[in-house]
């Protein structure tokens, strides 16, 4: 059985905790609220602390979404996976689509998939060809790329 933590009720403690969270990385409002809840802060305390950070612009879902998309595209991950991650972080579908429309202007998923497929194929040189293709296909699918782009890239290696 999970022990319940004592309820903390000072806004200052909540703000200090949020500062520590934001030192690690930018976070969505839902992530901050979930972390505060896990730490045992009451809803009114969490609301006041989150509102403070929203007011000064350190908790901003629009900025968070922009940064998350650019960071994950640079890794690179596929659009499907990034959208799922953002949804899990409490970002609205409308905001996700709006930010993706801006981010996709210079993004070519097919080119990225082809480059990653070639790089992975080199790692599987000693493996029989069909087995290597299966491994590359699985790798690219787990990264959230479009199945059609993955299939085309794997067929070309």
- Cβ(47)–Cβ(29) below 8 Å: no
- Cβ(81)–Cβ(100) below 8 Å: no
CA distance 93 to 87: 7
Average predicted confidence (pLDDT) for the chain: 91
Share of the chain above pLDDT 70, in %: 94
Render 49-69 in DSSP notation, one character per residue.
HHHHHHHTTSS-HHHHHHHHH
User: Where in the chain are the domains?
Assistant: 11-55, 61-106, 109-156
Q: Tens of pLDDT along 6-49?
A: 545 689 999 999 999 999 999 999 999 999 999 999 999 999 99
pTM recorded for the entire structure: 0.81
Q: Tens of pLDDT along 54-79?
A: 999 999 999 999 999 999 999 999 99
CA distance 157 to 142: 18
Number of CB atoms found within 10 A of residue 60's CB: 17
The first and second tokens of residue 124, run together, are 């599987």
Q: Is the per-residue pLDDT at 147 higher than 60?
A: yes
Please tell me the predicted confidence (pLDDT) of residue 8.
53
Q: Is the per-residue pLDDT at 106 higher than 80?
A: no
Q: Which of 75, 67, 68, 76 is nearest to 110 (CA)?
A: 76
Number of CB atoms found within 10 A of residue 109's CB: 19
Helix (H) or strand (E) holding 152: helix 147-156
The first and second tokens of residue 59, run together, are 């908790």
**Is the sign of the CA dihedral 139, 142, 146, 151 positive or negative?**
positive
Q: Is the per-residue pLDDT at 145 higher than 50?
A: yes
């Amino acid at each position: 059985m999970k022990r319940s933590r004592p309820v903390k009720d000072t806004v200052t403690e909540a703000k200090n905790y949020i500062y520590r969270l934001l030192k690690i990385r930018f976070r969505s409002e839902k992530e901050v609220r979930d972390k505060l809840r896990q730490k045992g802060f009451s809803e009114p305390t969490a609301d006041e602390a989150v509102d403070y950070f929203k007011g000064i612009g350190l908790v901003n879902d629009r900025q968070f979404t922009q940064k998350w998309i650019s960071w994950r595209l640079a890794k690179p991950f596929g659009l499907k996976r990034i959208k799922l991650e953002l949804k899990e972080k409490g970002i609205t579908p409308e905001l996700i689509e709006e930010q993706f429309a801006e981010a996709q202007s210079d993004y070519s998923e097919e080119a990225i998939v082809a480059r990653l497929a070639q790089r992975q194929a080199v790692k599987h040189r000693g493996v029989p060809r069909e087995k290597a293709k299966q491994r590359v296909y699985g790798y690219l699918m787990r990264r959230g790329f479009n199945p059609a782009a993955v299939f085309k890239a794997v067929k070309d290696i």
